[in-house]
A and B are shown apart, each in its own frame.
Chain A
Amino acid sequence: MADIPADQSAGIMRAADGRPLKVALARAQTRARRRAFLLVAPLLFFVLVTFVVPIGQMLHRSVHNPTFVDNMPQVAAWFRDTPAGTEPDEAALAALIAYLAAAAEARTIGAVGTRVNYEMQGTRSLFTAAGRRAGRLEAPYREALLDIDAKWGDPALWSTMRQVSTAYTANFYLAAVDRTRDLDGSVTRVAPDRAVYLTLFQRTFLLSALITFLCLLLGFPIAHLLATLPLRYSNLLMILVLLPFWTSLLVRTTAWMVILQGQGVLNNALVSLGIIGDTGRVELMYNQAGTVIAMTHILLPFMVLPLYSVMRTINPSYVRAARSLGATSWTAFRRVYLPQTLPGIGAGSLLVFILAVGYYITPALVGGASGQLISNLIAFHMQNSLNWSLAAALAALLLAAVLALYWLYDRLVGVDNMKLG
């Protein structure tokens, strides 16, 4: 700065060309900033298109399902204009029947039925059946509909239709936490034999926590060994740690199936060693044990790498200092070494936990019934039931839980205290 001339008489610093120094500085920095922005712009765009927008779409979809209002705008309008509990009048019924007739003609009759069916089971056929006969119905429509199926007179049906007649709804979130609305619109639990998501959320988090803990337990010594071995040995060991990364996930999972199944490598070895009898084969697959074993193996590198990168930077003199100050090797580890690896433990655990929470293929293949996670149900709703709004709501809850965890981590440990490598 010393070589920048100053115009002290004017009271402001000026650059060599006479412009005020602040202006010159701002201009120089703007150029640098613009260049920096242009450099990251492609990535920003990429992240926006492939990450932010899809997640936004997903969140939107979880509260937005316009099937009803798009297909039956007049019926939806009637619901909007009348207070809850109003008996459907002839005009509303006429609009409903007009839609059913048109939809039957256009072969889109199932759309609204499916939407209502999400909220109230067994109602889809009401719409398809009525649709088939809608063209022939005559006033008074109320009697005509009741004639097709007495369920058309059920207040619960109309209450449900009123709920789904708005494009925006929180009902999918209610469903995602095993809640539903009863007749007067208040929130209640679903019947015990239909409650599934809370159990699965709980199991997902418990299993993920267990997997994270096992990864930490197995990964910590490996990472420590890697960080303290001479470079030529540690490089070799590092390759072994990274090896799973270079194999397809499906191959790794199937390999575990070969090893773990009842007639698999592990059981056969135990039987031939006489450790267990042929009838006492251990069930290691198609249950939670299979999910935990395979996922711990698959996620282990995600724990080892951050741990390793943190441990490598810990000067051995800290432990020496602790020892010279009178600490046993255990105390030195616990009070000096371990706390300094916390950023790695935090990063590794967070990474493994978040990945485990969303894991899908491995539990689907080796998890059996008891090893299924919430992601498998999300896949079910994406692929089988095609209830994407519910899938989105479940996914959004998962996302929220992960963000909450991240926030908690930030509060407890501090995100700046996290080292990913």
Chain B
Amino acid sequence: MKRMLFLTSTLMCVGFAAAAQGELNIVSWGGAYGASQMEAYHKPYMALTGIKINSIDADNPATPIKAQVEAGNVSIDIADVEPSDLVRLCDEGALEVLPIDELPDGADGTPAADDFIEGGLYDCGVGTIVYSTLIAYRTDTGVAPTSSADFFDLEKFPGKRGLRKGAKYSLELALMADGVPPAEVYDVLGTPEGVDRAFAKLDTIKDQVIWWEAGAQPPQLLADGEVVMTTAYNGRIFNAMMEENQPFALLWPNQIYDFNLWVIPKGAPHKDAAWEFIKWSTDTQRLADQAGFISYGPARKSSSPLVGLFKDGKTEMGPHMPTNPDYVADALTTDIEFWADHDIELNERFNAWLAAS
């Protein structure tokens, strides 16, 4: 598998500049989220160590990893990925196994293994944030949705909907809107009947959906008035509300939790420096710092008390965090194992469903 693959260079177009010593190439999601990492991690770390960090944006940073590893030409040192991608890549040996017992203890002395929220620490990756995929809507349409069922109610809430193009989130949301309690969603989705039920629910709004792919799209679609409500990442909407005064609001019930994690691709050019960066950037203070730039929750429990005000100096971050106790009750945590096993299957079904219009 280490053969040269010209295919890679022509089709994938991931021509990152070869990194010199004293550099780190970090691939992340761009937009307001990328900016928060730049402010909370990259800039202070560059000032601290003199290492130059090249920040690269991707629609999904996990995408180029397999291509690079298989071509034996890895230029990425660190990527910010979702857990399901992490598990899949890790199982296929595309990621470095990390000595996670070297991670620093929490500020309160809790060992790292206990300090990270469950699902935030893996052999191949270290969590940074907890984010939420949830329904965002315009507040100037007169009526406000109150549940995920309203997302599918075209009579009460006429207008276009935005959904992330893919099986993940769409199917869970459909089941919860159809009355499945969050705790049972993955059990139902594990059966053929459950999958049919989810697609049947999606069928009811299919011709009103605009499918988005990049996290920056939903706030844009809302701002342009192209959709009246859409699934979105909570931080992106928060920043659009704060910084652009957009008339948006978030519907917290039935939010779907997920982590973002740092990973190091196998054969990364600056593997050791990358691990040093990860250890530093995931300590209690740094994770708390990032929450000051975007409304994503820190992956360490010990960071929560340190989260203060938004960078505008007046907005209390607590009510905007997915980890806020008020929002947790009927939240759904993404089942990573489920998606690692069913990702391909459900996405193929999803593609077929999407194409059959």
Contacts and interface: CB of A to CB of B under 8 A. Distances in A.
In the complex, is A directly touching B at CB under 8 Å? yes
A57 B6 contact: yes
A382 interface: yes
A73 interface: no
Interface string B96-129: 0100000000000000000000000001100000
A61 B349 contact: no
Interface in A364-387: 364, 368-370, 372, 377, 380, 382-387
B154 interface: no
A293 interface: no
Interface string B327-357: 0000000000100111111011101111111
Given A54-B10, A196-B348, A372-B355, A122 B93 contact: no
Nearest to B70: A388
B230 to A, nearest CB: 13
B355 A199 contact: yes
Contact of B7 (A49, A61, A121, A385): A61
Given A54-B6, A383-B63, A386-B66, A107 B355 contact: no
A383 B63 CA distance: 5
Instruction: From B60, B225, B348, name the one whose CB has the most chain A CB atoms within 10 angstroms.
Output: B348
A261 interface: yes
A107 B124 CA distance: 10
The B interface, classified by DSSP as helix, strand, loop or mixed, is helix
Given A58-B7, A121-B344, A263-B226, A369 B91 contact: no
A121 B340 CA distance: 12
A88 interface: no
B6 A53 contact: yes
Interface stretch (A111-119, A235-243, A319-327): A111-119
A195 B6 CA distance: 31
Nearest to B213: A364
B225 A372 contact: no
A121 B211 contact: no
B344 A107 contact: no
A57 B3 CA distance: 11
Interface in A186-232: 193-196, 199-200, 203
A124 B341 contact: yes
A118 B344 contact: yes
Given A107-B90, A124-B340, A385-B347, A57 B5 contact: yes
A392 B166 CA distance: 21
B160 interface: yes
Contact of A70 (B1, B63, B342): B1
Interface in A285-300: 286
B160 A380 contact: no
Interface residues of B, number: 48
Contacts of A110: 88, 90-93, 340
Contacts of B20: none
Interface in B195-248: 199, 206, 209-211, 213, 224-226
A171 interface: no
B356 A368 contact: no
Interface string A256-287: 00000111000000000000000000000010
A125 interface: yes
Interface in B4-19: 5-7, 9-12
B352 A196 contact: yes
Query: Which label, helix, strand, loop or mixed, suits the secondary structure of the A interface?
Result: helix
B226 A262 contact: yes
A109 interface: yes
Interface in A152-174: none
A50 interface: yes
A122 B226 CA distance: 37
A362 interface: no
B88 A114 contact: yes
A341 interface: no
A370 B357 contact: yes
B296 to A, nearest CB: 23
A269 B60 CA distance: 37
Contact of B224 (A117, A263, A380): A263
Interface in B66-99: 66-67, 88, 90-93, 97
Given A262-B226, A383-B60, A384-B347, A108 B355 contact: no
Nearest to A112: B92
A40 interface: no
B91 A107 contact: yes
Contacts of A49: 6
A57 B7 contact: yes
A208 to B, nearest CB: 16
A366 B46 CA distance: 39
Interface string A344-380: 0000000000000000000010001110100001001
Nearest to A364: B213
A117 B351 contact: no
B73 to A, nearest CB: 15
A261 B355 contact: no
B211 A369 contact: yes
Report, nearest first, the 8 A-B pairs whose CB atoms are least far apart.
A110-B91, A108-B93, A196-B352, A121-B345, A125-B341, A54-B6, A110-B92, A383-B63
Given A121-B345, A194-B349, A388-B7, 9 more contacts: A57-B5, A110-B93, A125-B337, A193-B353, A196-B356, A263-B224, A377-B351, A377-B355, A382-B11
9 contacts: A50-B6, A117-B344, A124-B341, A199-B355, A369-B355, A369-B357, A377-B351, A380-B351, A388-B7
Interface of B: 1, 5-7, 9-12, 60, 63, 66-67, 88, 90-93, 97, 123-124, 160, 166, 199, 206, 209-211, 213, 224-226, 337, 340-345, 347-349, 351-357
